[in-house]
Amino acid sequence: MNIAIIAAAIAVFTGIGAGIGIGFATGKASEAIARQPEASGKINSALLLGCALAEGTAIFGFITALLIIFVG
């Protein structure tokens, strides 16, 4: 069980990637809106899609950690 908890903690490290990715995407989106405010609708929907896909990795890591703790 002790080693399993460490394994779960490592699995949750996927959150780093999602955090960096969403941070980059949001920063670039802010720049794009500052440059072209009239395109903000399209930029927002593209940002939402990218964030949802980037967040998927974090969710997969989280589910893996849960499986390790509660099932394995």
Of 1-9, 23-31, 32-40, 49-57, the segment contacting other proteins by CB under 8 A is 49-57
- Report which residue type is found at 17: G
Cα–Cα distances (Å) from 4 to 16, 17, 45, 57, 59, in that order, read: 20, 22, 39, 20, 19
Of 1-9, 18-26, 28-36, 63-71, the segment contacting other proteins by CB under 8 A is 63-71
CA distance 64 to 11: 7
Of 2-10, 19-27, 30-38, 57-65, the segment contacting other proteins by CB under 8 A is 57-65
Residue 39 interacting with other proteins (CB under 8 A): no
Residues that bind other proteins in the complex, under the rule CB under 8 A: 45, 48-49, 52-53, 55-56, 59-60, 62-63, 66, 70
